[in-house]
Amino acid sequence: MRVLYFGTYERDYPRNAEVMSALRGAGVEVIERHTPVWEGRRDNWAARWGLGLKLAGAELRLRFSPRDSFDAIVVGYPGHFDVPRARRIAGRKPLVFNPLVSLHDTLVSDRGRFRQGRFAAWVLAGLAGWVVIALLAFLVSSLVQGQQVSDATERALDPGGPGLTSPATTLILGSDQRTEGTREPGASTSGPSRADTILLMRSGGGAAAKLSIPRDTVVEIPGRGRNKINASYAMGGAALTIETVKQFLGIEVNHVVEVDFERFPELVDAMGGITYQGGCVVSRINGGARNGGFTLRLRAGETRIDGEQALALARTRTNLCNRSEGDLSRARRQQKILGAMRSKVFSPVGFLRLPLITWAAPRTVKSDMSGPTLLAFAAGMAVSGDAPTRVLKPTGGERLPDGGAGLTVGDEEKAVEVRRFLRG
């Protein structure tokens, strides 16, 4: 494994030296892309414009320095200004920020770069306070408004951490239950509903992987016989779906997140909408607008979409612009939506709206995790990189006892995808 230690960090600072030494001691190849800014000036340099110019020059040198191949990036201390550049370089690979204290404490209290009471010090304190407010909003929202899973679901899960410092597997589920008031013929607005989304996510400890299971995949549902995998949710909720996925793929599932589709638009709207880029999409969700549902029309290219449009796009199976599209195209669209949401959170607008986002996020899910555990899971997802979503590819079809038809996945296809998923 190759780790890129990146930024304007102080190379001889004990924290950086010890981290690099520990990585190398564990057999990890550590390569450095470093531009000095802080060396030799820890106590006697009260920089004003000089620091800004030096940092700007350092960031330019880092931008145009030779590119090295790597498996993960570590931003050293103090590297608060290097994170945006590191995120662009990391792409879909894991990014770890190794801070010791906040940016305010680093530049004002520890390093004396700015004097207490100066405008710059107040700005740094305000930024740090804004992040604290956002974290508190997340914790309070998850404790007050968060929805807990059933005891049966808890029992179906395997032990595991939140996916921050060590790898963990989380099952993301969404149902096809329709909203109240729909006039779609035969639509269910209450009671058992089938799973609309079945997505496995691997995060933590440098792992980053996503594996989508097509909802029409035929599997053996424990105690219920052969059926489409999405029927397990209607038969026994998240607990039975977890058991079904574990038996089907032969893996452990540590956590589950059930998406509340009625509240999902609130999260996207809290972000101020997202920017989606893709092909033309025309779909009629829940029977379309004429039947109390929603009709989605998106032109090819880049489009700003709100929460309701994002939900409709994520649920689109039949694209009237391209009727040949199936679950693979749907999974790709969902991946683009998640990527757009991630980008928005880390944008300047996302930072300004951060408390709104962190307040809305726990309301949109039901999970075995809550409070600090859910926050650790979110942090693990944020630093694990934006891995592409792989989809189990059907290798055949099967007629079901009830007369319906589903897709089958061969053992070799499963084995290959599971190995790739667990490697992260």
- The confidence score (pLDDT) of residue 204 equals 82
- Which domains are assigned to the chain? 2-116 (3.40.50), 144-423 (3.40.630.190)
Distances (CA, A) of 314 to 129, 283, 400: 34, 11, 27
Model confidence, pTM: 0.69
Copy the structure tokens of residue 320. 């009237």
Separation CA 153–CA 242 (nearest Å): 8
CB 93 within 8 Å of CB 72: yes
Pairing type for strands 255-259 and 168-175 reads parallel
- The confidence score (pLDDT) of residue 297 equals 94
- The confidence score (pLDDT) of residue 103 equals 54
- The confidence score (pLDDT) of residue 44 equals 42
pLDDT per residue of the chain (424 residues) written in tens, 0 to 9: 788 888 888 877 777 887 888 888 888 888 888 877 776 655 444 444 455 566 566 666 666 566 678 888 888 877 777 777 777 777 767 777 766 555 555 555 555 555 555 555 566 567 777 887 888 888 878 877 667 788 999 999 999 888 777 889 999 998 765 555 544 444 455 555 778 889 999 988 778 899 999 889 999 999 999 999 999 999 999 999 999 999 999 999 999 999 887 889 999 999 999 999 999 999 998 778 887 788 999 999 999 999 999 999 988 888 999 888 877 788 788 888 988 998 898 889 999 999 999 999 988 888 998 777 888 888 777 766 667 788 899 889 998 887 788 899 999 999 999 999 998 7
- The confidence score (pLDDT) of residue 115 equals 52
- The confidence score (pLDDT) of residue 65 equals 60
- The confidence score (pLDDT) of residue 301 equals 93
Range list of β-strands (E), 286-400:
294-298, 301-305, 365-367, 389-391, 396-399
Sequence-distant (6+) residues with CB within 8 A of 34 are: 5, 6, 7, 8, 9, 11, 76
- The confidence score (pLDDT) of residue 385 equals 66
The owner of tokens 């607990």 is 239
Distances (CA, A) of 355 to 305, 400, 417: 21, 49, 37
